[in-house]
Structure 1
Amino acid sequence: MRFIDPHIHMSSRTTDDYERMREAGLVAVIEPAFWLGQPRTHVGSFIDYYASLIGWERFRAAQFGIKHYCTMGLNSKEANNEALAEQVMEILPRYLSKEGVVAVGEIGYDDQTELEDRYYRAQLQLAKEYGMVVMVHTPHRDKKQGTIRSMEVAVEMGLSPSMVVIDHNNEETVRAVLDRGFWAGFTLYPQTKMGHERMVDIVRQYGSERIFVNSSADWGVSDPLAVPKTARLMLERGIAPEHVHATCYANALAVYGQSGQFNESDWTQAEGVDQRELFEGNSVLRGQTPRVDQDAIADQ
């Protein structure tokens, strides 16, 4: 089986993770712009970070046979720094039309403050103007209230639910999201958020329409193989293969494919890996023998 992880923070992971992910069947990932673990203090930090998502990280993933895409946005935590948020909003539009950018995100609420609401709305407006998909981060606290508020504001701002992914769902929020016609993402953490067993129960109860899973693997305790592991458990527990395919591959392709930047042919017709390639003079290898696939040689 092929898998897509539609929410994973690979800038926080190692090349070993890329190797293990490819061996497990992951063919494509989407990396949302997010909080780095401590507050950024200058707009230049955002500029360099956004550049890395469409540059170095895209190259690094390709060196291990994985297609890398990203989303661009001002995260909810840093929306509370008004002066910095204003500067980020000025530079954000220049990145929305870059190659490989499939959505505005991850945006939304954290503490559900007035500033978070202001910049959530501003970025929804950008998504509307650019005709882009939106990835919404739902809050860890007061999750159901924050999730419903996120959807209500998106509709109020003129976004179609079919263009909005509500992420980090759980049993408390899934029905509200599906009933309103939004896409429901589920983040699978080893110990918190949703677990593999609970995800199996979700699919058994609700089916697979507009539901998909991700790892959100970052600098914290997380697992970049969460998607294939969940797929395997679903099959073991008797979930029909078509539901596994939908939740671990096809639904992510359907929603983010609306961007025009996320196409199955990107990986099914991809050239082979050639680790002799460099990115601005840099290699991922550190002196190791490069992997060069035969079809990469044939294309030269």
Structure 2
Amino acid sequence: MFIDPHAHMISRTTDDYEAMARSGVVAVIEPAFWIGQARTNAGSYKDYLSHILGFERFRAGQFGIRHYCCIGLNSKEANNEALAEAVMELLPDFATKEGVVAIGEIGYDEQTALEDKYFRLQLDLARELDLPVMIHTPHRDKKRGASRSMDVIIEHGIAPSRVVIDHVNEETIKEVKDRGFWAAFSIYPHSKMTAERMVALVKQYGAERLIVDSACDWGISDPLSVSKTASLLADQGISADDVRLVTYANALAAYGQSGQMTETDWLSPAPIDQRTLYQGNSVLRGGQTPQVGRPD
């Protein structure tokens, strides 16, 4: 069994859910993020958050995958102050809905004053709601951005054990681990972190507090990254216990602190019934036979 704790499934096809289920993925976490084009009003943000809380949860369940999400204002759009203010009004209501396991993904992009302002406000919201936090570390000037993120988190009185620092790499892993945070790695085909580099990091640092995810989105990415990385780890001599930690158990421990995510969700699942509709619509198309019964 695998958990993909960072997957932007709104960007993926239903075929991806089928493939993930076949590969052993039992649960996914979908963080709120930038969709590739800036949103211009709070209404579009409201519809987006409703989608990842609603239809994506339904769509995943049609293939026996449990879907959770994180709620937040991403760092890129925090630079639109009018939009950010309006979205901040929406977040408390969405963050208290069923299936929300963290505030995220939040943090820095260009490390501007507005990004800092809304990062801090969302950390306060996470503390108020007693939710874990998922941190996006910037693609540029990553080391400084990661260090600054952790400094601000500590300043706001949030325990490192409640925070997942994502998009970690060789440059940032030591500080993340030394300071007691969870370190998550986005396994991409050509960038961020490859499975081969992940093997080397597990060998060097051990499996404690390390998390593998796909961060699959609208770019060139792979929704099967978690299972493929697990296979490579095993092939390279990493113990079964350590493979399980980085591809399943650590994610469950980190996000299970929300009280919204537990193993019984997928160990004792409701039967799949693809005859079920969501607002009158099915994931199936003409001629397909609905699957009815327990997941394989």
Q: Could you tell me which amino acid in structure 2 is paired with residue 84 of structure 1?
A: L
Q: Could you tell me which amino acid in structure 2 is paired with residue 174 of structure 1?
A: I
User: For 2:141 and 2:149, how far apart are their aligned partners in 1?
Assistant: 12
Residues 133, 162 of structure 2: 8 Å contact kept: yes
Give the C-alpha shift of residue 295 in structure 1.
Answer: 4.6
Q: Could you tell me which amino acid in structure 2 is paired with residue 156 of structure 1?
A: E
3-state SS in 1 of match to 2:272: coil
User: For 1:295 and 1:149, how far apart are their aligned partners in 2?
Assistant: 46
1:166-215 Cα deviation digits (max 9, x unpaired): 00000000000000000000000000000010000000000111101000
Q: Which runs of 5+ in 2 are unaligned?
A: none
3-state SS in 2 of match to 1:132: coil
Matched, 1:294 2:293: yes
Q: Could you tell me which amino acid in structure 1 is paired with residue 213 of structure 2?
A: N
3-state SS in 1 of match to 2:3: strand
User: For 2:293 and 2:212, how far apart are their aligned partners in 1?
Assistant: 33
* Alignment correspondent of 1:92: 91
* Alignment correspondent of 1:75: 74
3-state SS in 2 of match to 1:92: helix
Give the C-alpha shift of residue 271 in structure 1.
Answer: 1.7
Q: Could you tell me which amino acid in structure 1 is paired with residue 243 of structure 2?
A: V
Q: Could you tell me which amino acid in structure 1 is paired with residue 291 of structure 2?
A: V
Q: How does 1:168-187 map to 2 (within 5 A)?
A: 168-187=167-186
Q: Could you tell me which amino acid in structure 2 is paired with residue 70 of structure 1?
A: C
Matched, 1:261 2:277: no
Q: Could you tell me which amino acid in structure 1 is paired with residue 128 of structure 2?
A: E
- TM-score by length of structure 2 reads 0.98
User: For 1:235 and 1:95, how far apart are their aligned partners in 2?
Assistant: 39
Residues 4, 248 of structure 1: 8 Å contact kept: yes
Residues 273, 291 of structure 1: 8 Å contact kept: no
Q: Could you tell me which amino acid in structure 1 is paired with residue 182 of structure 2?
A: W
User: For 2:155 and 2:270, how far apart are their aligned partners in 1?
Assistant: 44
* Alignment correspondent of 2:237: 238
Residues 253, 263 of structure 1: 8 Å contact kept: yes
Q: How does 1:60-139 map to 2 (within 5 A)?
A: 60-139=59-138
User: For 1:229 and 1:63, how far apart are their aligned partners in 2?
Assistant: 23
Residues 25, 65 of structure 2: 8 Å contact kept: yes
User: For 1:65 and 1:74, how far apart are their aligned partners in 2?
Assistant: 29
Give the C-alpha shift of residue 293 in structure 1.
Answer: 3.0
* Alignment correspondent of 1:192: 191
Matched, 1:282 2:281: yes
Q: Could you tell me which amino acid in structure 1 is paired with residue 44 of structure 2?
A: S
CA RMSD of superposed structures (Å): 0.9
User: For 1:134 and 1:235, how far apart are their aligned partners in 2?
Assistant: 30
Equivalent pairs: percent with the same residue?
A: 62
3-state SS in 1 of match to 2:103: strand
User: For 2:108 and 2:247, how far apart are their aligned partners in 1?
Assistant: 26
Q: Count the aligned residue pairs.
A: 295
Give the C-alpha shift of residue 3 in structure 1.
Answer: 0.3
- TM-score by length of structure 1 reads 0.97
Residues 272, 292 of structure 1: 8 Å contact kept: no
Q: Could you tell me which amino acid in structure 1 is paired with residue 190 of structure 2?
A: Q
1:15-63 Cα deviation digits (max 9, x unpaired): 1101110000000000000001011001000100000011101000000
Give the C-alpha shift of residue 290 in structure 1.
Answer: 3.6
Give the C-alpha shift of residue 272 in structure 1.
Answer: 1.9
Q: Could you tell me which amino acid in structure 1 is paired with residue 14 of structure 2?
A: T
Q: Could you tell me which amino acid in structure 2 is paired with residue 37 of structure 1?
A: G
* Alignment correspondent of 1:220: 219
Give the C-alpha shift of residue 291 in structure 1.
Answer: 2.8
Q: Could you tell me which amino acid in structure 2 is paired with residue 52 of structure 1?
A: H
User: For 1:245 and 1:28, how far apart are their aligned partners in 2?
Assistant: 14
Q: Which runs of 5+ in 1 are unaligned?
A: none
1:56-100 Cα deviation digits (max 9, x unpaired): 010000001111000000000000000110000011100111010
